[in-house]
Amino acid sequence: MRSEAVETKKLLYIFGVIVFGGMLLNSIIDAGIYLEYYSVEKLWEYRLFIAGGAVVYYGAVFLYHQLRGRLKG
């Protein structure tokens, strides 16, 4: 059996899309249900939290690969 190496950069970016995209999609799909219990402001606060988390995550992945490339030479 032949094994192939997985690119860490692609894997981390795809993982981020799945996690943060899924959370954002969930907040859009379930918005009608949760608006009965929570306010619109809470929904937007949750979406901004997701966006902020995504920015931090993708920034960390970007910096990781920038520093890793510099250390390799």
Structure confidence at residue 73 (pLDDT): 60
pTM of the predicted model as reported, rounded to 2 decimal places: 0.80
Structure tokens that stand for 22 in this block: 């899924």
- Determine the Cα–Cα distance for residues 51 and 57; give it in Å rounded to an integer: 10
Structure confidence at residue 3 (pLDDT): 67
- Residue 15 φ/ψ, nearest 5 degrees: -60, -45
Q: Which domain holds residue 64?
A: 8-72
Structure confidence at residue 71 (pLDDT): 76
Q: Domain count of the chain?
A: 1
Residue 52 lies inside a defined structural domain of this protein:
yes
Q: Which of 18-22, 55-59, 68-72 has the lowest mean pLDDT?
A: 68-72
Mean pLDDT of 9-26: 94
- Determine the Cα–Cα distance for residues 53 and 38; give it in Å rounded to an integer: 21
Structure confidence at residue 56 (pLDDT): 98
The band of 48, judged by pLDDT with boundaries at 50, 70 and 90, is very high
Residue 67 lies inside a defined structural domain of this protein:
yes
By CB neighbour count within 10 A (0-12 exposed, 13-18 middle, 19+ buried), where does 14 fall?
A: exposed
Residue 18 lies inside a defined structural domain of this protein:
yes
